[in-house]
Structure 1
Amino acid sequence: MRLFPLQPAMVPLFLYGLLCVPSITPHSAGLEGTSQTFEKIEENEDNSITIHNLTISGLSSNDTKKNIFLDSPVHLQLECIFNANTSQLQNFNVTWKHGDEEIIRNLYQDNNTGEWRTTLEVFVADVNRTGNYSCVFSSTSETKATFHIKVPPVLDGGKTLVVYNGDSTILKCNSSIYKPVEWLWYKVSGNEQVLLNVSSKFSKYKQVNKSASVTKLNISDLAEGDSGTFVCKAVFKIGESEGQVHVKVLSLMGPLKVFLAILAEVVVLVTIILGYEMLSKKKPSEDDEKSEEEQMTQLKSEENGEASTTRQRKV
């Protein structure tokens, strides 16, 4: 980390929270060709400058990106390095942008390496100074490098917990290596977020902050009315971020109703099967009885016929 003294002409810009300083001397900061996706920046209490840089290989290269997460105010120097041969390029220039707003044009050549460099100094004091800072190199075509300056995200959000009426549960959120000034818990009601009362000893909600970067919400004696979305909000010195945890409270009668419905279907199915089997057995029995009766009738008629023939012979 290097110290850069401020020139008197730069003071008004610094007071507005944004410094754009073209340098005429080579920088010895390390080069980075790819973005680092999760990097912590500490607060600069000594007004020193934290340097971040990105390298662009040429106008035909893909856009380069880097995430910078800040939990405290910090003075940043953003640097883009263009190391392609520009001798054949026409109207080669660079533009810095914050979002879609053009900030400054600043381009110089490193006398030692021959690389083209552009720098932007910005004091990130609040959430308005976060966002995307891009250096855009253009000639016959265009390429850019973008620094994404963000408030740290809240992790462990987006989960859905399924619990039962009368149970207790614990909701958890964390901010990884970053330390919020304060954690707040809310319950979503319609389009609003209602701050939970976690300080009263009679409240069913109890907040436990195991460490500065971890918060937990204990909910006791859950009821179906507790179903919904809970929001954990991390308050940092330069802004806020939040995560959500979804809770679904089921009545004990819910699973019982499902069980009874399945049981009723099984009973009906078994009854139908048994009834069909009984009918199937009963039908052959009736057929057998009819067959026996027909045989007896036939035998009687034959006997009667034989008896009549015998009488006729005697006569």
Structure 2
Amino acid sequence: MILLGPDLTTAGFNEEINLNKSKALYVEYEVLLPGESDVHVEKNIFLGSAVKIELSCRLADKHSHMKILQVTWKKGNETIKHINKTEISWGIQLTVSENRKLGSYTCTVTGEKEFSVVFHLQVPQIAGREKPVVSYKGDSAILICESRSYTPIAWTWYMTNGSEQIAINDSLMLDKYVIDKADANVTHLKILKLTEEDGGTYWCEAAFELGKSKGKLKLKILSLMVPLKPFLAIVAEVVILITLIFVFELYSKKKEKRAEDEKEFDQIEQLKSEESNGVESNSARHRKV
């Protein structure tokens, strides 16, 4: 039996509960209702194989005095007959042997306040990769999916072509796709000789006794020029900077030379003026004599 206490029953809390690989024939889950009418409790239970299961909800002891008016168990909108385990605990028993038995089961307790918990029974989720896998044109890439709780019966890879998903199997381009089946809980898809067309969305699908589950991965292909762009940008900036410095130095030298030429010209003109003034003074003296 797995008991989830009040410390776990918080608003919007969503806990993943996985059956272990021993494939137990019978399991029981009991949730302690939080005692706050505005708190919505949800529990995920992942099932990969057939199992007998009991789901129950129970009020905390501090609410045992509350007068219970109605207890309702539902699968979707369908009301299910439940059992009274105790005065403050109610449950349902299921044999989950096929996919249609999976889904959401809700326990609602109505009294002075209303409490509820939703059990989501579903096939195990597949752990893929949130961020895109990045590789370069002409190189290779490896996409990885994993089932952490149950061992799948089989794995299948798909690539997306527009709105269509195309299965990647052993007969599809052996020189392009390689599927590693060494570990039953993990699958690797190796894509060789990457082109820009290989970029896009890929799916890994795990088949379980109770249904199938998919993981989504994205592959991004970069050109070999992409990693060089920052370097080329830096080189371009350096070239521009050196060119500006060279032009500035050349301009400064020309300006200095022009200033020197003007200064020399002014000195020559001043000397000529002084010589001219000296000649005129001498002529004036001679005339006075």
TM-score range, shorter chain: 0.7 to 0.9
Cα distance in 2 for residues equivalent to 1:312 and 1:60: 123
1:52 aligns with 2:36: no
Kept in 2, the 8 Å contact 1:133–1:147? The answer is yes
- Between 65-74 and 172-181, the greater mean CA deviation after superposition: 65-74
Name 1:75's counterpart in structure 2: 52
State the Cα distance separating 1:107 from its structure 2 match: 5.0
Cα distance in 2 for residues equivalent to 1:205 and 1:52: 43
Cα distance in 2 for residues equivalent to 1:265 and 1:30: 64
> How many pairs does the alignment contain?
278
Cα distance in 2 for residues equivalent to 1:109 and 1:103: 15
1:217 aligns with 2:189: yes
State the Cα distance separating 1:62 from its structure 2 match: 4.0
State the Cα distance separating 1:200 from its structure 2 match: 5.2
Name 1:237's counterpart in structure 2: 209
Name 1:206's counterpart in structure 2: 178
Cα distance in 2 for residues equivalent to 1:264 and 1:274: 15
Judging changes above 3 Å, is the alpha-carbon distance between structure 1 residues 201 and 57 closer, same or farther for their aligned structure 2 residues? Answer: closer
Q: What does residue range 230-309 of structure 1 map to in structure 2 within 5 Å?
A: 230-256=202-228, 259-309=231-281
State the Cα distance separating 1:311 from its structure 2 match: 3.7
State the Cα distance separating 1:154 from its structure 2 match: 0.6
Cα distance in 2 for residues equivalent to 1:82 and 1:120: 16
Judging changes above 3 Å, is the alpha-carbon distance between structure 1 residues 297 and 49 closer, same or farther for their aligned structure 2 residues? Answer: closer
State the Cα distance separating 1:30 from its structure 2 match: 6.7
Match of 1:146 among 118, 133, 138: 118
Kept in 2, the 8 Å contact 1:75–1:124? The answer is yes
Q: What does residue range 64-213 of structure 1 map to in structure 2 within 5 Å?
A: 64-84=41-61, 89=67, 92-104=69-81, 106=82, 108=84, 110=86, 115-199=87-171, 202-213=174-185
Q: Which has the higher strand share?
A: 2
1:39 aligns with 2:15: no
Secondary structure of the structure 1 residue equivalent to 2:144: strand
State the Cα distance separating 1:59 from its structure 2 match: 6.4
Q: Which runs of 5+ in 2 are unaligned?
A: 9-14
Cα distance in 2 for residues equivalent to 1:49 and 1:309: 133
Identity of aligned residues (%): 36
Judging changes above 3 Å, is the alpha-carbon distance between structure 1 residues 58 and 201 closer, same or farther for their aligned structure 2 residues? Answer: closer
Secondary structure of the structure 2 residue equivalent to 1:276: helix
TM-score by length of 1: 0.78
Equivalent AA in structure 2 for residue 229 of structure 1: T
Kept in 2, the 8 Å contact 1:197–1:203? The answer is no
State the Cα distance separating 1:187 from its structure 2 match: 0.9
Kept in 2, the 8 Å contact 1:159–1:244? The answer is no
Secondary structure of the structure 2 residue equivalent to 1:38: strand
State the Cα distance separating 1:109 from its structure 2 match: 6.0
Equivalent AA in structure 1 for residue 159 of structure 2: K
Q: Which runs of 5+ in 1 are unaligned?
A: 1-28
TM-score by length of 2: 0.84
Equivalent AA in structure 2 for residue 92 of structure 1: L
